[in-house]
Chain A
């Protein structure tokens, strides 16, 4: 795998260019893709700052000013407990990244392993079992499943993450399986077989690395699904338990919008919308960059 940096990327197309350097070149040329990447990185910076304790630490501080309008002191005003909405929005960025990253990484890893095994042994019993498991998980309604997991894990803070990973890996696995079945017919896999490389090593060294572009795109999609699901789950009372999230802010605001106080709702919605939108656009740009049919 070649590593291509920004300086060499715009160079004219050369013979035998790798998938990755070509993708990097295409991505760097994609104006919308780069813009969205910058936005995502800004959010990541905010989240890292919260994590490092630089800002967003006063999200839980109660002040006597309740439902205040935006002012120099409280940039987005305060909610009905007198908590600063701006601080809460900032802190929620960290919550969103925590959920998004944990769920995206774990479900991508799980999906990659399951998909690779399933594709490699296509038509044999490991494949049958994994396909059956996928079918089973896909036919349980998502919110019911999360609720059930939440109950089974009895208030354990990560029950939401577990439930999301358990349901989100299936899509990744399906895509990886199809790709692995395609790869299996290639000469390099045949050669590895002929050389007597053990099967698990063929899977881990030769097949999974060739699906990383699918995994990368799929991870961005899972990230978006995770933070979107968090909003709904928190509203239903099945999501974030300690701390604050955009979902909790929006569900708080359902009582406020009817009385004409929109700050909480707007702040959380805009923060959420911009991140999801940027991530969606970045995900599209990645997909286009890896698509050999597009120049």
Chain B
């Protein structure tokens, strides 16, 4: 019961954050955004026609009415219709978000799991050759641009200059085999780009934990390495690791998929957002930014609640 109350209280503190995000993005994207009036009307329009279009788009309303309208859309999850395709924004989102999740999830999970394993190995042999090799690899990984990784993997795996086994672009998934066929190259790219940063972060956390007295005692008592790492180190290092994973979820789904999807031509939410940016499709941008902000705040709250579940020492204040 306490936990529920705690979560609700946190939810209230999340409101100013959502208001801030929506306000800034509204000012930037909608108020200063491109004027769509002249794209929607024909040539030689009369002033009445122009006025009609402007009132359809809501441009004639005062600033705060338009902002309030946006907030109402966010609460009711009803964002109207896309300017460019005329499709309902909520339908576009329900169609594209699963694609993006299916695309980024394997890479995200693998990138974090592999990084934790590498960090445990590096932390266990810290100062040694293995540790130094892993950390040098991490710095190299951190230094390669995401775009270079994507192009590199595409050339190596999907073109006749490499093994030419995977598709260059596209997403036509009807079965598991299709899925593996299309998801492999993007997944490798996502794992590669996140591995360096993740490994470094997790190693720092794990090394900090390895230096604690209880770990030294456990070692002195002859606890086998695997048991030591998982029971004595990883469990105590769980909070910073989980925080990082949780916080990267909303941004990885949107920002990560933006580049991957527009490069590989995959019809996910990132591609839709990218197209909306280039065409100035405001209903979609409003929906994506608003939804990300809400997702971010919910993640924040979920993380706080999770601390409580993992670590009983965290107080519910």
A interface, CB within 8 angstroms of B: 132-133, 135-145, 147-149, 151-152, 228, 231-232, 235-238, 247, 250-251, 253-254, 257-258, 260, 262, 265, 269, 272-273, 276-277, 280-281, 284
Contacts and interface: CB of A to CB of B under 8 A. Distances in A.
B268 interface: no
Which label, helix, strand, loop or mixed, suits the secondary structure of the B interface?
helix
A273 B297 CA distance: 35
A277 B143 contact: yes
Given A236-B262, A260-B161, A144 B143 contact: no
A280 B143 contact: yes
19 contacts: A137-B24, A140-B289, A140-B293, A141-B251, A141-B288, A141-B289, A144-B277, A144-B288, A144-B292, A148-B28, A151-B34, A231-B148, A250-B145, A257-B154, A262-B155, A269-B144, A269-B148, A273-B144, A277-B140
Interface string B238-258: 000000000000110011001
A148 B251 contact: no
A258 B274 CA distance: 23
Given A136-B21, A139-B21, A236 B274 contact: yes
A151 B281 CA distance: 12
A232 B139 contact: no
Given A236-B259, A265-B151, A273-B148, A281 B24 contact: no
Interface in B15-64: 16-17, 20-21, 24-25, 27-29, 32-34
B273 interface: yes
Nearest to B138: A280
B111 interface: no
Contacts of A144: 25, 254, 273, 277, 285, 288-289, 292
A149 B143 contact: no
A132 B251 contact: no
A151 B168 contact: no
Contact of A232 (B147, B151, B277, B288): B147
Contact of A139 (B32, B274, B288, B293): B293
B171 interface: no
B74 to A, nearest CB: 14
Contacts of A147: 277
B151 A254 contact: yes
Nearest to B292: A141
Given A139-B297, A141-B288, 9 more contacts: A139-B292, A140-B21, A145-B25, A236-B259, A260-B161, A262-B155, A277-B140, A280-B142, A281-B139
